[in-house]
Chain A
Amino acid sequence: MKILVTVKEVGEAADDFEIEGLDVGERFLEYDLNEWDDYAIEAGVQLAEEFDDVEVVSATIGPERSEETIRMALAKGVDRAVRVWDDDVAAADLDVAAKTRLLAAVVEEEEPDLVLSGVQANDDNFGATGVSLADEVGFEWAAVVNHLEMAEDFSTASLHRELEGGIEELTEVDLPAVLTIQTGLNEPRYASLRGIRQAQSKEIAPKTLADLGLDASAVESPIERTAMYEPESESDATYFEGDADEQAARLADVLREKGVVGR
């Protein structure tokens, strides 16, 4: 059995940041493993521990810098990694369809039985790639999965989809499938020292568009970012000035005024 986990490195804007052109300035971005993908990795690794002969492969669209993040996935138990990048990809503004085409090419090459993907990426929040990919490669799918049980023979998965308002949908999905994983599905492990050491010798295979049998048209997109700005604050919040004691004193006044303390 083979499980493919999509792993994205996401940028996080520092507390004080500046926008430069159409993005947050590079020096204000810290890169990290996408939170939802961490749970997807854990789900894949746990299945590999539970069943015999399961290989877990990660797939990332990202520049060389993202290998640091990929190593984290490898250190947590992913067996090997594929990283898609070249000049055309770097120059493109990848929309969901473009990501779908790239990842579909990886799926066609790897032929996994199961693809695990985070519900959304913390940076651009599209929440669409996994389901779009499923449609493209003709797999079944389920989005926002927060509980997962795999049949002995990897033929079906019984899962919970977390709906709004504390309701979960119980669903059965045939494999091969793409599942988009919600936080809380499991408890992502920390990479052990041993894992980190082992990760150094695991393979991260770089792939260009040409390697995947694609050309630059695969990353063309009809969607273009035209502006980025800091949102105008809608509220006229009153800020408490001063040191922590002064702030706390003002805050205490508000709580007393509102009459909520001591009920």
Chain B
Amino acid sequence: MKPEPVTDGGEAEGDVLAVAEHRRGDLRDVSFEAITAGRQLADDLGGELHIAVIAGNVDGFAETLNREGVDTIHTVDAGEEFNHDLYAGAVESLFEEVEPAALLAPNSVNGLDYAPAVANALDLPYVADAVDFAYDGGFEATREMYGSKVETTVAVSEEPFAVTVRGGEWPGAEGAGDAAVEPFEYEFDGDAAGSRVVGFEEVAGGDVDIAEAEFLVSIGRGIEEEENLELIQELVEVTGATLSSSRPIVDNGWLPKNRQVGQSGKQVTPDVYLAIGISGAVQHVAGMKGAETIVAVNTDPNAPIFDIADYGVVGDLFDVVPALISEFK
């Protein structure tokens, strides 16, 4: 796992600049994961770990971000919330000051909204959504392709470079650190920016809270047609389960948004999560991997959902579900 730190000979060539993330006053978990990933990379590179925290209560954030392994925290006191013009501009300026070998950011929704722009502006090779990486004379990242059915490694032959890391792949950094906190002056005129955040809205209240359910029967695109949902409804009735779904079912308007499990839906932690016709895309898994027992029904033996399942049924839901219904009738 984590290699022994290489002592820094005073050169700053191998430094890493990682960007923290917060929303509505709270640092997000990906910030602490970015510290762990950034520390790993900085160790490999033989450099220091710099954290950038931009907008909002940056001094408060800096205190919380001061975890083991962080060398310097750069606070950019401008704006209240994420705005990509602010983030892109501040990260670019900081990058030019710190001159790191690598820029690291969370592959979050906001990461998607500024990191590619920064990489382009600074002319950095860009690797998105790394699930692992190593640096051994050169940077090599592990990524997934084709709906997580395969893994790939990609090598980057230029430095500096930019990488975004997938949430949940690195543990969050813990332990108190003794980082230097350095305010970084960056002028930002929010009103003049070409994009303006004007507010937030919470979606998906409603009749049921799937986050509370102990047994979720969750349906995905394998159901094919809206009419076929009746079959699942019947299973839900005879088992007393709560119905949830993957995103396409909600996108199609077949179920309301409050039934969606995943990154942009709900996080659920039932005793049993029965995933029917769901492939197990990363954004879906993000919402249900905390289930105590995961059972998957899928025709595709290579579906990534089986990688996290405790029980697997390789089979056609249109055969398995009716048989299951008769078991409980």
Contact = CB atoms under 8 A, between A and B. Distances in A.
B63 interface: no
B72 interface: no
Given A135-B117, A144-B112, A183-B251, A164 B263 contact: yes
Interface of A: 11-13, 15-17, 19, 22, 24, 95-97, 100, 119, 122-132, 134-136, 140-144, 160-174, 177, 180, 183-184, 187, 221-231, 233-235, 237-240, 243-245, 247-249, 251-252, 254-255, 258-263
A122 B149 CA distance: 11
Instruction: Describe A's contact surface by its main secondary structure.
Output: mixed
Interface of B: 23, 28, 82, 84, 88, 107-110, 112-117, 119-121, 123, 125-129, 140, 143-158, 161, 194-204, 214-215, 239-241, 247-248, 250-253, 257, 263-267, 270-272, 274, 293, 295-297, 299-302, 304, 306-316, 319-320, 322-324, 326-328
Given A96-B119, A97-B120, A238-B312, A174 B293 contact: no
Contacts of A233: 306-307
A238 B126 contact: no
B155 A223 contact: yes
B135 to A, nearest CB: 14
B109 A240 contact: no
B311 A238 contact: yes
The 6 closest A-B pairs by CB, nearest first: A248-B323, A244-B319, A260-B215, A128-B116, A140-B194, A252-B327
Given A125-B129, A235-B306, A142 B312 contact: no
Nearest to A259: B271
Given A12-B146, A226-B154, A255-B272, A240 B302 contact: no
B9 to A, nearest CB: 26
A239 B314 contact: yes
Contacts of A19: 150
Given A144-B112, A172-B196, A24 B312 contact: no
